[in-house]
């Protein structure tokens, strides 16, 4: 017997029942659904809609169901459609007619909106915790590599010398922003839609604020239409998840490049690499590659829900049943990626000598040579063109800027003096960039300190 079947003369077709049911995936919300029902039942008893004894009976029955589900003793029914009706059906079977009073003053529309908010609140906390661990690992690696010199790139061409610490700290800034977005989303979703009913509220004297307070929510929705039809919080989470995955993908792309035979900047730990079924020499960075691939999956979750929501009139529509699978998939994907990327980074081997050798090639000190000339009074644009000619000459001769002698430079211009080579040495090029946000060890160390402080603030 359907809980909504009074209006109908005919049962649902089997094919439609299977198509219509969401219990296969929304059973994941059982804990949140029961928590919300317990708070609702307690409030119904307190305001006198049902008796205190009935409220107690409902709460005890719901707690029993929760324990049994967690113990694996409950098998949900497709015929009961969703987690809400499955729980109510179980409750009525266990405690009798009083179970039918649980849904007083409530609709599945505001019920599912509450469940999804509670679910995302918990999963955002878990995601933040995992992201914080990854960020801490990057901060620790940065401290260890304050003086690990490497080439910095633009257009994937060698640009200027930096340190590995400076490079890793760029990702720390990305992940701090991700944490900030997750924190903001959590704050916005932390309100209760219960009391919105199907879309126009209810005639029962509900205490919405009591329910919200019991569930740890900051307040209640202020419009019943919006309360049941809003999925901005889910879309916002998916957008945040997509940006986070983009950052992880960029990091993993660099790890793939750095671990290649052409670069050899790093070696992946065997535990985070795989081999080839045909080429015995291969050691593939498959974990990093798979994170890149899974980024598209999370993008798809966002686009899927945006597409579902784009043409829906107010208020609730059955299309919105499609919200949960996208959210569940994104949650699972980002958390699995965070779980595997952190130890992959922690266990990788950094080849400092190869990185430093790479920093000395490709004329990465050309800008410093132009700066040297500018400090001697040559307009920078003229110095830029002048150094470009020197680089062209050196590239044809197979030389570096530091391979020319002082007399070679002085034959070009009398402004060059004994301090030239100390000014264009790789270490000096990095150490001299002490401006805030620059790559000098002192500046990066201060950035680490400030980032740790920011991380602590974002976790509260």
DSSP H helical ranges for 268-414? 286-309, 323-347, 352-360, 366-375, 380-397, 406-412
In which element (H, E) is residue 248 found?
A: helix 232-258
Cis check: omega of the bond before 210, within 30 degrees of 0: no
Q: Is 22 a catalytic residue?
A: no
Q: How far is CA 354 from CA 149, 161, 258, 261, 264, in A?
A: 9, 13, 11, 12, 7
245 near 341, Cβ under 8 Å? no
The angle that helices 286-309 and 323-347 make with each other, rounded to 10 degrees, is 160
Could you give phi then psi for residue 201, rounded to 5 degrees?
Answer: 75, -160
SS (H, E, C) 256-273: HHHCCCCCCCEECCHHHC
Closest to 234 (Cα-Cα) out of 81, 110, 314, 118: 118
User: Which residue is associated with the tokens 């633009």?
Assistant: 154
Catalytic: which of 155, 277, 405, 407? 155
The answer to whether 395 is a known catalytic residue is no
CA–CA separation, 186 and 169 (whole Å): 26
User: Which residue among 276, 395, 413, 422 is the active-site one?
Assistant: 276
Task: List Cβ neighbours of 377 (8 Å cut-off, separation of 6 or more).
Answer: 415
Token pair for 364? 């990465």
Here the tokens at position 190 are 């932390």
Check if the beta carbon of residue 162 is closer than 8 Å to that of residue 151: yes
CA-CA distance, 254 to 161, in Å (whole number)? 17
3-state secondary structure of 160: strand
Give dist(CA 383, CA 370) in Å, integer.
5
* Joined tokens for residue 56: 């107690």
Active site residues: 155, 276
């Amino acid at each position: 017997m359907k809980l909504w079947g009074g209006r109908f003369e005919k049962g649902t077709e089997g094919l439609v029942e299977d198509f219509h049911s969401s219990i296969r995936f929304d059973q994941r919300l059982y804990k949140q659904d029961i928590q919300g029902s317990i708070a609702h039942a307690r409030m119904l008893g307190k305001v006198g809609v049902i008796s205190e004894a009935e409220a107690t009976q409902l709460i005890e029955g719901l707690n029993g169901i929760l324990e049994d589900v967690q113990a694996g003793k409950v098998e949900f029914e497709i015929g009961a459609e969703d987690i809400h009706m499955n729980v109510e059906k179980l409750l009525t079977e266990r405690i009798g007619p009083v179970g039918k009073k649980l849904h007083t003053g409530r609709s599945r529309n505001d019920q599912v909106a509450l469940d999804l908010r509670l679910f995302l609140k918990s999963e955002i906390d878990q995601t933040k915790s995992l992201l914080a661990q990854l960020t801490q690992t990057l901060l620790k690696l940065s401290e260890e590599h304050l003086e690990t010199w490497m080439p910095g790139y633009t257009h994937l061409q060698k640009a200027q010398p930096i340190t590995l610490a400076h490079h890793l700290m760029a990702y720390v800034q990305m992940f701090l922003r991700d944490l900030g977005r997750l924190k903001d989303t959590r704050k916005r979703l932390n309100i209760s839609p219960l009391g919105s009913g199907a879309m126009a509220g209810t005639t029962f004297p509900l205490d919405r604020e009591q329910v919200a307070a019991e569930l740890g929510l900051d307040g209640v929705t202020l419009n019943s239409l919006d309360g049941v039809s809003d999925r901005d919080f889910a879309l916002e989470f998916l957008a945040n998840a997509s940006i986070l995955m983009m950052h992880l993908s960029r990091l993993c792309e660099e790890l793939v490049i750095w671990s290649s035979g052409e670069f050899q900047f790093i070696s992946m730990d065997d535990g985070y690499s795989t081999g080839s079924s045909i080429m015995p020499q291969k050691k593939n960075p498959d974990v990093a590659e798979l994170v890149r691939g899974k980024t598209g999956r999370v993008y798809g979750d966002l686009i899927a829900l945006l597409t579902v929501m784009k043409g829906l009139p107010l208020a609730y529509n059955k299309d919105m049943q499609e919200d949960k699978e996208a959210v569940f998939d994104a949650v699972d994907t980002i958390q699995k990626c965070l779980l595997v990327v952190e130890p992959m980074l922690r266990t990788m081997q950094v080849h400092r000598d190869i990185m430093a050798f790479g920093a000395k090639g490709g004329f990465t000190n050309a800008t410093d040579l132009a700066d040297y000339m500018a400090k001697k009074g040559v307009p920078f644009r003229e110095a830029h063109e002048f150094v470009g000619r020197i680089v062209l000459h050196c590239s044809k001769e197979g030389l570096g800027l530091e391979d020319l002698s002082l007399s070679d430079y002085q034959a070009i211009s009398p402004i060059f003096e004994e301090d030239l080579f100390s000014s264009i040495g790789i270490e000096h090029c990095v150490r001299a960039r002490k401006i805030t946000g620059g790559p000098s060890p002192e500046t990066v160390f201060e950035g680490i300190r400030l980032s740790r402080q920011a991380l602590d603030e974002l976790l509260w």
